[in-house]
């Protein structure tokens, strides 16, 4: 990630759609609303932001940044819930509710939450878990106050509070052809129509919102989301990759070790979970809810060795499994032995950007061109 004159990280070149005013102060940065501050209240009310850093107020300096236009699939509008829903209800409103609360279905077993438009026992159980997490009376009935939680967790374009579509659209690689890169910044050229890809991404955002909340509201950075067929072929992706449909994201979470994040995902209706032995990201996908997938609607989580370590596709322990405990800024995190001494030093001393969840352009390219795990049921 390139640095600004203030020494902080600048966003990926295609993340912001217009001139936006950012507020900065001099303490640890917060990504995608990781502080208890409203993500968009810091910007002018008329401006729409797809990326921002919010800093805990110490002494505010205002900086104006010019960014590059984002080109994505046609926009969508968020559904606003305005009436109480309860067990027995049916219809599109219930289905929309299920999309948003699927990640709260309270099970760590491979039991699929049904998005069927019918408010049954699964929906009530998920609603009860969400109510408990947000300090609401727990009864499994979606009251207007409960639904306001969901309304506040979404943006007008259908994305969620802590994630933006531009984080999931196709990346660009200097190693790929102009044809493959022509889809950069879009949801086109994949195995699903762009509108379907965008709907898939929205479902994934809501699962990640649940993972994020369960992980202590720590930010999650997206390294690789949707890929066109041409781009996926170029970087050596799996032939039937979930990334081709917008149902997958390679990601990492701030201050939470990779295995802990995977365990949270197992309790959040993430169907496909993969890891890498030498790369610090997890792969999450929603293959069971992929309507365009011809087969392979099954769960896939990492297998374990005799010592209980989760294994990557190459048979070696997942990144961070051989780890020692350390502290960074007073918070316990897992530091992999492969992390360089200089990075460990910077992380422990709270250097801005050290161990950041926001990947650099070089890291994205290295990650994607290293290939994908091929044994995720042969489908990623």
For residue 210, give the CATH number of its domain: 3.30.1380.10
Residue 83 lies in a domain: no
pLDDT band at 319 (very low <50, low <70, confident <90, very high): confident
Domain count along the chain: 3
Supply 23's token pair.
Answer: 């507020």
Residues 272 and 130 in one domain: no
Residues 171 and 148 in one domain: no
- Is there a contact between 128 and 87 (Cβ–Cβ < 8 Å)? no
Of 105 and 367, the structure prediction assigns the larger pLDDT to 105
Q: What is the pLDDT of residues 129-143, one digit of tens each?
A: 999 999 999 999 999
Residue 304 lies in a domain: yes
- For 106, other C-beta atoms within 10 Å of its C-beta total 13
Structural domain range at position 28: 1-70
Planar angle of CA 213, 218, 223, nearest 5 degrees: 110
- Is there a contact between 349 and 328 (Cβ–Cβ < 8 Å)? no
**pLDDT for position 160:** 96
Residues 171 and 120 in one domain: no
Residue 336 lies in a domain: no
**pLDDT for position 237:** 83
How large is the average pLDDT for residues 204-232?
95
**pLDDT for position 363:** 55
Q: What is the DSSP letter of 167?
A: G
User: The tokens 């990779």 sit on which residue?
Assistant: 258
Residue 82 lies in a domain: no
**pLDDT for position 101:** 98
DSSP 319-360: TTSSEEEEEETTEEEEEETTS-HHHHHHHHTT-TTTT-SS--
**pLDDT for position 135:** 97
Residue 64 lies in a domain: yes
Residue 347 lies in a domain: no
What is the DSSP pairing of strand 220-224 with strand 248-253? Answer: antiparallel
Q: Which of these three, 103, 124, 152, is where a domain ends?
A: 152
pLDDT band at 94 (very low <50, low <70, confident <90, very high): very high
Distance CA(56)–CA(31), nearest Å, equals 11
Residues 286 and 365 in one domain: yes
Residues 108 and 252 in one domain: no
Q: Which of these three, 107, 130, 152, is where a domain ends?
A: 152
- Is there a contact between 82 and 150 (Cβ–Cβ < 8 Å)? no
Q: Which of these three, 128, 152, 176, is where a domain ends?
A: 152
How large is the average pLDDT for residues 45-69?
31
How large is the average pLDDT for residues 189-196?
96
Tell me if the pTM is above 0.75: no
**pLDDT for position 204:** 98
**pLDDT for position 255:** 86
Distance CA(324)–CA(313), nearest Å, equals 23
Residue 224 lies in a domain: yes
Which of 100-104, 319-323, 370-374 is least confident? 370-374
Of 25 and 269, the structure prediction assigns the larger pLDDT to 269
Give yes or no for residue 341 having a pLDDT over 70. no
pLDDT band at 370 (very low <50, low <70, confident <90, very high): low
Residues 170 and 144 in one domain: no
Residues 105 and 130 in one domain: yes
Residues 200 and 280 in one domain: yes
How large is the average pLDDT for residues 300-311?
90
Bridge partners of 324, per DSSP, are: 335
Of 311 and 119, the structure prediction assigns the larger pLDDT to 119
pLDDT band at 347 (very low <50, low <70, confident <90, very high): very low
Residues 61 and 186 in one domain: no
Distance CA(278)–CA(338), nearest Å, equals 8
Of 66 and 351, the structure prediction assigns the larger pLDDT to 351
Residues 251 and 315 in one domain: yes
- Where residue 134 sits, what CATH number does that domain have? 1.10.101.10
Residues 190 and 125 in one domain: no
**pLDDT for position 314:** 81
**pLDDT for position 361:** 58
**pLDDT for position 269:** 98
pLDDT band at 367 (very low <50, low <70, confident <90, very high): low
Residues 197 and 311 in one domain: yes
**pLDDT for position 44:** 27
Which of 22-36, 62-76, 282-296 is least confident? 22-36
Residue 316 lies in a domain: yes
Q: What is the pLDDT of residues 228-256, one digit of tens each?
A: 999 999 988 888 889 999 999 999 998 89
């Amino acid at each position: 990630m390139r640095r600004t004159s203030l020494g902080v990280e600048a966003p990926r070149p295609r993340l912001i759609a217009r001139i936006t005013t950012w507020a900065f102060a001099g303490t640890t940065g917060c990504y995608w609303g990781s502080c208890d501050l409203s993500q968009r209240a810091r910007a002018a009310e008329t401006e729409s932001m797809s990326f921002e850093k919010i800093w805990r107020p110490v002494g505010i300096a205002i900086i104006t940044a010019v960014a590059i236009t984002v080109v994505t699939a046609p926009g969508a509008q968020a559904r606003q819930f305005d009436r109480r829903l309860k067990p027995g209800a049916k219809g599109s409103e219930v289905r929309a509710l299920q999309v948003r609360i699927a990640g709260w279905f309270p099970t760590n077993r491979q039991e699929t939450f049904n998005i069927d438009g019918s408010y049954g026992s699964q929906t009530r159980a998920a609603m009860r878990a969400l109510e408990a997490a947000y300090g609401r009376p727990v009864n499994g009935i979606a009251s207007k106050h409960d639904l306001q939680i969901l309304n506040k967790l979404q943006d007008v374009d259908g994305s969620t509070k802590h994630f933006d579509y531009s984080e999931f659209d196709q990346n660009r690689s200097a190693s790929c052809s102009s044809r493959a890169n022509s889809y950069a910044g879009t949801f086109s050229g994949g195995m699903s129509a762009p509108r379907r890809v965008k709907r898939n991404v929205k479902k994934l955002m809501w699962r990640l919102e649940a993972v994020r909340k369960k992980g202590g509201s720590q930010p999650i950075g997206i390294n690789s989301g949707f890929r066109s067929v041409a781009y996926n072929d170029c970087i050596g992706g799996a032939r039937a990759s979930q990334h081709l449909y917008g149902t997958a994201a390679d990601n990492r979470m701030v201050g939470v070790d990779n295995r802990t994040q995977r365990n949270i995902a197992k309790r959040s209706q993430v169907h496909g979970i993969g890891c890498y032995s030498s790369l610090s990201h997890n792969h999450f996908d929603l293959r069971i809810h992929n309507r365009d997938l011809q087969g392979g609607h099954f769960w896939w989580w990492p297998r374990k060795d005799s010592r209980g370590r989760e294994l990557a596709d190459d048979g070696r322990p997942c990144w961070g499994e051989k780890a020692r405990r350390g502290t960074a800024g007073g918070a316990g995190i897992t530091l992999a032995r492969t992390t360089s001494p200089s990075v460990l030093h910077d992380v422990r001393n709270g250097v801005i950007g050290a161990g950041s969840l926001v990947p650099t352009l070089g890291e994205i390219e290295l990650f994607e061109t290293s290939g994908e795990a091929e044994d995720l049921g042969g489908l990623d």
